[in-house]
Structure 1
Amino acid sequence: MIDNRIFNFNAGPAALPLPVLQEIQSSFLNFDGSGMSIIEISHRSSWFDAVINDAVERTKRLLGLDDGFHVLFVQGGASLQFAMAPMNFLTNGRSADYINTGTWSTKAINEAKILHKNYSVVASSEDKNFSYIPKDISFNKDAAYVHITSNNTIKGTQWHAFPDTNGVPIVADMSSDFMSRPLDMDKFGMVYAGAQKNIGPSGVCMVILKKEMLDLATDEIPTMLRYATYASKNSMYNTPPCFGIYTIQLVLKWLEETVGGLEKMEAHNIAKGKMLYDFINNSDFYRTTAAPDSQSLMNVTFRLPTEELEKTFVEKATARGLGGLKGHRSVGGCRASLYNATTMEAVEALVNFMQTFEREN
Structure 2
Amino acid sequence: MPINTRNALNFSGGPGALPEIVLRQVQTAIIAVPEVGLSILGISHRSDWFAGIVRETEENIRALLNLPEDFHILFLQGGATQQFSQVPMTLLRGRRHAADYLDTGYWSRKVIAEAMREGPVRVVWSGERCGYRRLPREEELTFSPDAPYLHYVSNETVEGLQFHRILGRDDVPRVCDMSSDFLSKPCQADKFSLIYAHAQKNIGPAGVTIVLVRDNVVQSAPQNLPAFLDYRRHVEAHSNLNTPPVFAIYVVLLVTRWLRDQIGGLDNMARINHRKAQRLHAAIDDSDGFYRHWGDGDDRSDMNVAFSLPDAAREKRFFADASLAGFSGLEGHRALGGARASIYNALEPAAVERLVEFLDDFRRRNPR
For Structure 1 versus Structure 2, the TM-score category normalised by the shorter chain is: over 0.9
Q: Distance in 1 between matches of 2:29 and 2:117?
A: 44
Aligned partner of 1:126 in structure 2 is: 128
> Cα 1:32–1:50, aligned 2, differ >3 Å: closer, same or farther?
farther
Q: Any residues of structure 2 matched to 1:182-331 within 5 Å, and which?
A: 182-284=186-288, 285-331=290-336
Q: Distance in 1 between matches of 2:74 and 2:363?
A: 46
Q: Distance in 2 between matches of 1:155 and 1:26?
A: 37
Q: Percent identity?
A: 44
In structure 1, runs of 5+ residues without a counterpart are none
Aligned partner of 1:43 in structure 2 is: 45
Residue pair 2:168, 2:174 contacting (<8 A) in 1 also: no
Residue pair 2:16, 2:201 contacting (<8 A) in 1 also: yes
Structure 1 residues 145-166: Cα deviation after superposition (integer angstroms, max 9, x where no partner): 1000000010110001111324
Aligned partner of 1:19 in structure 2 is: 21
1:110 aligns with 2:107: no
Residue pair 1:10, 1:337 contacting (<8 A) in 2 also: yes
- How far 1:128 sits from its partner (Å)? 0.8
Residue pair 1:32, 1:47 contacting (<8 A) in 2 also: no
1:8 aligns with 2:13: no
Q: Distance in 1 between matches of 2:335 and 2:189?
A: 33
Q: Distance in 2 between matches of 1:252 and 1:16?
A: 12
> Cα 1:63–1:8, aligned 2, differ >3 Å: closer, same or farther?
same
Q: Any residues of structure 2 matched to 1:73-152 within 5 Å, and which?
A: 73-94=75-96, 95-115=98-118, 117-135=119-137, 136=139, 137-152=141-156
User: Could you tell me which amino acid in structure 2 is paired with residue 315 of structure 1?
Assistant: A
What's the C-alpha RMSD, in Å, of the aligned pairs?
A: 1.2
Structure 1 residues 3-45: Cα deviation after superposition (integer angstroms, max 9, x where no partner): 9621000000110111001011122222133221112111111
In structure 2, runs of 5+ residues without a counterpart are none
Tell me, what secondary structure is at the counterpart of 2:258? Answer: helix
- How far 1:114 sits from its partner (Å)? 2.4
Q: Distance in 1 between matches of 2:277 and 2:100?
A: 31
Aligned partner of 2:175 in structure 1 is: 171
Q: Distance in 2 between matches of 1:258 and 1:344?
A: 15
Residue pair 1:133, 1:294 contacting (<8 A) in 2 also: yes
Aligned pair partner of 2:158 in 140, 143, 154: 154
Tell me, what secondary structure is at the counterpart of 1:33? Answer: coil
Tell me, what secondary structure is at the counterpart of 2:193? Answer: strand
Runs of 4+ in 1 over 4 A off after TM superposition: none
Residue pair 1:141, 1:166 contacting (<8 A) in 2 also: no
Tell me, what secondary structure is at the counterpart of 1:357? Answer: helix
Aligned partner of 2:365 in structure 1 is: 360
